[in-house]
Amino acid sequence: MDFFIEILKTILFGIVEGITEWLPISSTGHMILLDEFVKLDVSADFWDMFLVVIQLGAILAVVVLFFKKLWPFSYKNGILKSDKATWIMWLKILVASVPAGVVGVLFDEQLNALFYNYQTVAIMLILFGILFIIVENHNRNQHPMVQSISGISYRAALFIGVFQLIAAAFPGTSRSGATIVAALMIGISRTTAAEFTFFLAIPAMFGGSALKLLKFGFDFSMEELIILFVGMVVAFVVSVLAIKFLMGYIKKHDFKVFGWYRIVLGVLVLGYFLLSR
C-alpha cells in the first residue's frame, strides 16, 4: 500500500513535468512548490536525479511528434538520402547548445548550491513573466521577420543559446520560456520560436540527464527504477498533449497569458515560503 501511494505521487510529478516543461512557466518552480505538499519517500540523491532524468520522458515526446523534421535521412528506391537543411538545423542547435553545455559541465553543482532556492525561483518567474508581456506588447503590430528555422542565423541561434544558459543557471527562469523570449526579441515568429525551443531541448535534456545518472551511479533499487520509469512514461504522455496544445494555442494567441501566470505564481511562491518560515 505504501509503495502504491508513492506511485500515485510519481504520476502527479510526471503530470506536472509534462505540462510545465513545454509551457513557458518553469517546470522547476512547479516541482519545488509541489514538493512542499507532496514528497516522494526517496533519498535526497535520488530526488535530485529524478527531477532531471524524468525529463527524458518529456523530450521523447518532441522526438516522436517532430521526427520527420528532426531525422535527416530518408530511404527511397533503395537509396539512402540525407537532407542538407536538416543537418544545417542541427548545426544551429549545436551552436545554441554550447553556452549552457559548457557552463553546465563546469559549474552545475556550484550553480545549484547558489541559486536552487525559492527566492531565485520566485524572482525569475516574475522577471521573465514581465519580459514576456513587454516583448509581446512591443511585437504587437510587427510582422515577424523569421518564419522558419531555416531563417534563423547562427548569430541568432547563439543569442538564443545565451538565454538557455540563463535558464540553466537560474531555476524558475524556464528553459522554454527563456529561449522563446529570446527568439521573439529578435523577430522570430511564435511557432518557429516554439519549435526551435523544443528541438534545442533535445541535447540539453539528454546531456543533463546523462550527467545526473553518472553522478548517481546507476545504483537503483527495484522501487527506484519503477518510480523513475513511471515518472518518465507519464511525462511523455502528458508532454505530447501539452506540445499539441501549445502549438495550436500560439497560432491564434500570444504568450502574454503565460507572462501573467508566471507573475502570479512567483508572488505566490514568494509569499508561501516567507509565511511558512
| Tens-place pLDDT, residues 135-171 | 999 998 888 899 999 999 999 999 999 999 999 889 8
Task: Count Cβ neighbours within 10 Å for each residue of 78-91 and write b for 16 or more, e otherwise.
Answer: eeeeeeeebeebee
Q: Are 210 and 59 in contact (CB under 8 A)?
A: no
Q: Is residue 105 scored above 80 in pLDDT? A: no
Residue 241's pLDDT band (cuts 50, 70, 90): very high
Residue with cell 522526438: 63
Query: 32 pLDDT exceeds 90?
Result: no
Nine-digit cell string for 2: 505504501
pLDDT at 78 exceeding the cut of 80: no
**Tally of structural domains, the chain:** 1
Q: Quick check: 15 pLDDT over 80?
A: yes
Distance separating alpha carbons of residues 96 and 113, to the nearest angstrom: 25
Q: Which domain holds residue 82?
A: 2-275
114 — pLDDT class (breaks 50, 70, 90): confident
pTM of the model: 0.93
Give the whole-angstrom CA distance, residue 27 versus residue 265.
12
C-alpha pair distances (Å), 151 with each of 62, 89, 183 = 21, 10, 12
Mean pLDDT (whole number) for 203-214? 88
**H or E segment to which residue 159 belongs:** helix 154-169
Which residue, 218, 277, 268, is CA-closest to 33?
268
In this prediction, residue 74 has a pLDDT band, given cuts at 50, 70 and 90, of confident
Question: Is the Cβ–Cβ distance between 103 and 166 less than 8 Å?
Answer: no
